[in-house]
């Protein structure tokens, strides 16, 4: 972490004023350096499709969201509104991790999700119309009712061909009224009564008595297509890094994508055009010369944050102005050596 200070200065822009979340990123980096993901119990997964298909960072205020990259188009449809921001990303990483580790397409929204949300949301959870409880519940509904459509148009000798695939994440689901109250009562986190007891603490975060453990009735059933995607092409992530980047959803996406790409890069890649990266990651910038310049600044700013939690990452975003060059890097989640038992 010798270069952490210089990276933070580039990220923050204001010398000697480091935001609290950046300090948490640095602390996470030190924890990762001391103990790998498997040993720390923070090994998580995302699918290749979800690594390449990113959701919007801000509310698009629509039920349909589209990204285009040349002949490839990605469309997200949700009757509740398109999911956006950090919460659906965290929920997706949890869903995929549960599917990979449990090898079941029926995911119980129970104790493990409660533990995950506690560590992911932390003490900043609040109530009210703009509070964590409202946003988390809303994003859960948006995500679980979404459908992803991927379209491709190719030029062949016989003319232009058109192919598409629709991927629904969840077949069905049920959130029990009692469980809903647990998920919706986040505003009481870490706010004990004046007497010092935790009687007013959120029911979700309380340690349940052993006799009540596992008595969650809420569940979602992943579609067969999405479940196969989870178990056949899992991309390992360090959930500590993924969670702590939550204040910057673009950094979350860059981390997941670049962790996947670094797992198989053997030599310097050709420059990945900034226009292609803007189509993939977006930022709200228009696809104009000025928009591309604004996107490059935003991407590099978020890349600097990713470097803090992934110091072994080697990329070149400066020597070739036409795009980003990926260089061979140590994988962020170390591969198993011969003789080691897989944990998933």
DSSP per residue over 126-166, as a string?
--STTSHHHHHHHHHHHHHT-EEEEEEEEEETTEEEEEEEE
Task: Say yes or no to pLDDT of 11 above 60.
Answer: no
What does the alpha-carbon distance between residue 329 and residue 104 come to, in Å, rounded to a whole number? Answer: 33
What is the tally of helices (H) and strands (E) in the chain?
A: 13, 12
What's the pLDDT at 67?
Answer: 76
Higher pLDDT, 240 or 115: 240
What's the pLDDT at 182?
Answer: 62
Rg (CA), the chain: 21
What's the pLDDT at 195?
Answer: 38
What does the alpha-carbon distance between residue 268 and residue 327 come to, in Å, rounded to a whole number? Answer: 5
What's the pLDDT at 137?
Answer: 76
Residue 163's Cβ-side half-sphere holds a number of Cα atoms within 13 Å equal to: 5
Mean pLDDT of 31-47: 77
What's the pLDDT at 189?
Answer: 38
The three-state secondary structure class of 168 is: strand
Give the range among 32-41, 130-139, 298-307 with minimum mean pLDDT. 130-139
* Contacts for 177 with CB less than 8 Å, ≥ 6 apart: none
Task: Say yes or no to pLDDT of 6 above 70.
Answer: no
**pLDDT band with cut points at 50, 70 and 90 for residue 342:** very low
Per-residue CA distances from 146 to 24, 60, 92, 113 (Å): 32, 14, 12, 20
pLDDT tens figures, 190-236: 333 333 433 333 333 333 443 444 556 678 899 998 899 899 888 99
Token reading at 86:
């950090």
DSSP notation for 177-206: HHHHHHHH-GGGTT---TTS--TTS-TTTS
Nearest CA among 87, 176, 174 for reference residue 132: 87
What's the pLDDT at 39?
Answer: 73
Q: What are the strands, taking DSSP E only, across 109-158?
A: 147-156
What's the pLDDT at 216?
Answer: 64
Token reading at 261:
């790409």
Nearest CA among 145, 54, 46, 41 for reference residue 96: 46
Task: Say yes or no to pLDDT of 111 above 80.
Answer: no
Nearest CA among 333, 340, 338, 337 for reference residue 46: 333
| Residues above pLDDT 90, as percent of the chain | 22
What does the alpha-carbon distance between residue 243 and residue 90 come to, in Å, rounded to a whole number? Answer: 7
**pLDDT band with cut points at 50, 70 and 90 for residue 54:** confident
Main-chain dihedrals φ then ψ at residue 325, nearest 5 degrees: -110, 125
Token reading at 72:
């490839």
What's the pLDDT at 326?
Answer: 93
What does the alpha-carbon distance between residue 93 and residue 49 come to, in Å, rounded to a whole number? Answer: 12
The number of beta carbons lying within 10 Å of the beta carbon of residue 269 is 16
Q: Which residues, in sequence order, are bridge partners of residue 107?
A: 220
What does the alpha-carbon distance between residue 324 and residue 270 come to, in Å, rounded to a whole number? Answer: 8
What's the pLDDT at 154?
Answer: 64
What's the pLDDT at 49?
Answer: 77
Task: Say yes or no to pLDDT of 66 above 70.
Answer: yes
Q: Which residues, in sequence order, are bridge partners of residue 154?
A: 161
For the chain, the structural domain boundaries read 4-326
């Amino acid at each position: 972490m010798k270069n952490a200070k210089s990276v933070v200065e580039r990220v923050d822009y204001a010398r000697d004023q480091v935001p609290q979340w950046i300090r948490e990123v640095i602390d996470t980096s030190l924890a990762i350096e001391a103990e790998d993901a498997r040993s720390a119990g923070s090994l998580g997964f995302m699918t290749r499709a979800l690594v390449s298909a990113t959701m919007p960072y801000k509310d698009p205020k629509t039920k349909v969201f589209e990204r285009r990259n040349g002949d490839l188009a990605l469309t997200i449809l949700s009757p509740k509104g398109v999911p956006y921001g950090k919460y659906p990303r965290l929920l997706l990483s949890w869903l995929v991790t549960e599917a990979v580790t449990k090898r079941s397409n029926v995911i119980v929204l129970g104790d493990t999700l409660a533990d995950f949300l506690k560590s992911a949301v932390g003490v900043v959870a609040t109530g009210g119309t703009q509070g964590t409880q409202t946003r988390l519940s809303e994003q859960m509904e948006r995500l679980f009712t979404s459908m992803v459509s991927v379209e491709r148009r190719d030029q062949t000798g016989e003319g232009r061909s058109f192919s598409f695939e629709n991927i629904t994440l969840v077949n069905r689901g049920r959130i029990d009224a009692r469980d809903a109250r647990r998920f919706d009562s986040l505003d009481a986190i870490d706010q004990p009564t004046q007497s010092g007891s935790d009687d007013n603490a959120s029911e979700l975060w309380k340690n349940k008595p052993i006799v009540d453990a596992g008595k969650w009735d809420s569940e979602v059933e992943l579609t067969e297509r999405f479940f196969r995607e989870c178990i056949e092409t899992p991309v390992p992530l360090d959930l500590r890094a993924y969670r702590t980047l939550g204040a910057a959803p673009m950094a979350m996406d860059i981390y997941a994508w670049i962790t996947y790409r670094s797992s198989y890069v053997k030599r310097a890649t050709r420059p990945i055009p900034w226009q292609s990266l803007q189509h993939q990651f977006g930022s709200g910038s228009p696809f104009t010369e000025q928009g591309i310049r604004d996107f490059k600044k935003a991407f590099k700013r978020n890349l600097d944050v990713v470097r803090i939690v992934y110091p072994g990452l080697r990329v070149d975003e400066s020597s070739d102005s036409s795009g980003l060059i990926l260089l061979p890097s140590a994988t962020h989640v170390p591969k198993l050596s011969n003789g080691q038992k897989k944990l998933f």
